[in-house]
Amino acid sequence: MISASTTLVKSATFAALPPVWPEELQPRVQAAARASERTLVVLDDDPTGTQTVHDVPVVTRWDVATLRAELARAEPCFFILTNSRSLTAAAARALNLELARNLHAASAAAGRAFTLVSRSDSTLRGHFPVETDALAEICGPFDATIVAPYFEAGGRYTLDDVHYVAEGDTLVPAAETPFARDAAFGYRCSDLHEWIEEKTSGRIRAADVRSLSLDVIRRGGPEATAAALLALPPGCVCVVNLCAPRDTEVLAAATLAAERAGKKYLYRTAASFVNARLGLAPRPLLAGGELAAGGAGLVVVGSYVPKTTVQLERLLAASPAAHRVELDVATLLNPETARHVVNAATAAVSAALAAQEDAIVFTSRGLVAGPDAAASLDIGQRVSDALVALVRGLTERPHFVIAKGGITSSDLATRGLGVVRAMVLGQILPGVPVWQLGEETRFPGLNYVVFPGNVGDADALATAFAQFHRAKIPHPL
């Protein structure tokens, strides 16, 4: 058994694994998903959960009328953007309780059942088990809670029950990465059995957590995996080992089969499970004529993770003509100076857009953290409030908006632009979705790029930006 703190060589490790299940499963899964009398409802704790799907709606409200309308469409899936990762644990619990109650009422009114996916971060940051506990309280009991943080586009893999983050050809245990030192959602364990014990403060012991192995998934396929699901102890938590898209397709087919046999599961997953469960065939990346290209756009960078900082530096170097506005975080946290700074930035960005100049707004790169998780979340929210105020105050329509960071992209969509319902068009880069905003928004039909903070290579942000201008970006030296 490999230690949960050991880094691995990805190419060599994957070469030694059993081959993936040979059968193409997408048509089978898609047919089963569409034949199901249940809608897959994805509760997304930030907008990046849409990073693997296309032609799927997202709603930002969860009142009974909104949920009833979506369920009545009898479509295979819709997303609910909760943005709960920006909240305290108590607020996230209250939100999930309210949402679950409303879903129950809407389901009864629409005559349509649902299956729940609690979608969260592929690097294990989020309100677990707070959210799944709340959902189980209203919508349970569940036969099992399935934990599957695998996310191919971001290089997140689970092997021998250890969750890894790929850095080039190296697989780094998740607890050894900067993500594990998150001020609000940090953790010590990469073994998911131990991580669950850590996050539940010992309520669920590591020894009681079950798992589905890659051996069962790859050698036994959907039937053996479904049998393993059916044999799980009632009410347990089960982690799933996944290292390739076909593995996730096997899991999707198995869960559909187990549900047809009468089982009821709650899913806590990253984004890759959703498209697999829908049987969505991959579509080409959005580019050129599919995007509203040609006009001046706005990039807003709120994420502060190191990967975002590198991407921002490359974007600035590749876009010397763009008007740039840096917002000092310490200044934004001071009520006496924040309003003046935001007003000045809003005027500058509006003037740039009026002159057909792109604008890039970014927060200062130094991490400002509070003494505890709640204080750190509050700092993040106050910074996000400033970015929202800037976007709400714009007097000119941008041709497109790229929002960098989960909380940033959620708050700009809902509070800055007034999104109630949007359609996911597809991805501009792997793991980077593009929404088309609805008529209710400040800028109807706007192409809105939800760019996760921890996704993409060093040039990814510059590449996405350049797609809207049909330009080839120069790589800075």
Look at residue 346 in the predicted model and tell me its pLDDT: 96
Question: Is residue 472 in a domain?
Answer: no
Range of the structural domain that residue 239 is part of: 8-278
The answer on 300 and 235 residing in a single domain is no
Look at residue 154 in the predicted model and tell me its pLDDT: 87
The answer on 313 and 234 residing in a single domain is no
Look at residue 474 in the predicted model and tell me its pLDDT: 39
Over residues 204-248, the pLDDT tens digits come to 999 999 999 999 999 999 999 999 999 999 999 999 999 999 999
Last residue of a domain, one of 255, 278, 301: 278
The answer on 317 and 230 residing in a single domain is no
The answer on 323 and 273 residing in a single domain is no
Q: Is the pLDDT of residue 423 over 60?
A: yes
Helices 335-354, 373-392: crossing angle, 10 deg rounding: 40
Between the ranges 173-182, 225-234, 338-347, where is the mean pLDDT highest?
Answer: 225-234
The answer on 204 and 90 residing in a single domain is yes
Look at residue 369 in the predicted model and tell me its pLDDT: 67
The answer on 308 and 243 residing in a single domain is no
The answer on 70 and 14 residing in a single domain is yes
Q: Name the domain count of the chain.
A: 2
Look at residue 358 in the predicted model and tell me its pLDDT: 96
Over residues 85-131, the pLDDT tens digits come to 989 999 999 999 999 999 999 999 999 999 999 999 999 999 999 99
The answer on 156 and 55 residing in a single domain is yes
Last residue of a domain, one of 213, 243, 278: 278
Q: Is the pLDDT of residue 476 over 60?
A: no
Question: Is residue 103 in a domain?
Answer: yes
Question: Is residue 132 in a domain?
Answer: yes
Last residue of a domain, one of 252, 278, 304: 278
Look at residue 5 in the predicted model and tell me its pLDDT: 78
Look at residue 475 in the predicted model and tell me its pLDDT: 37
Over residues 265-299, the pLDDT tens digits come to 999 999 999 999 999 988 899 976 677 656 899 99
The answer on 126 and 20 residing in a single domain is yes
Alpha-carbon distances, residue 338 vs 74, 179, 333, 345, 395 (angstroms): 46, 29, 7, 11, 20
Indicate the pTM of the whole model: 0.88
Mean pLDDT (the chain, rounded): 92
Question: Is residue 286 in a domain?
Answer: no
Question: Is residue 473 in a domain?
Answer: no
CATH code assigned at 229: 3.40.50.10840
Looking at per-residue confidence, does 176 or 454 come out higher?
176
Question: Is residue 441 in a domain?
Answer: yes
The answer on 302 and 259 residing in a single domain is no
Question: Is residue 41 in a domain?
Answer: yes
The answer on 218 and 144 residing in a single domain is yes
- Sign (positive or negative) of CA dihedral 12, 16, 21, 23: positive
The answer on 257 and 335 residing in a single domain is no
Question: Is residue 430 in a domain?
Answer: yes
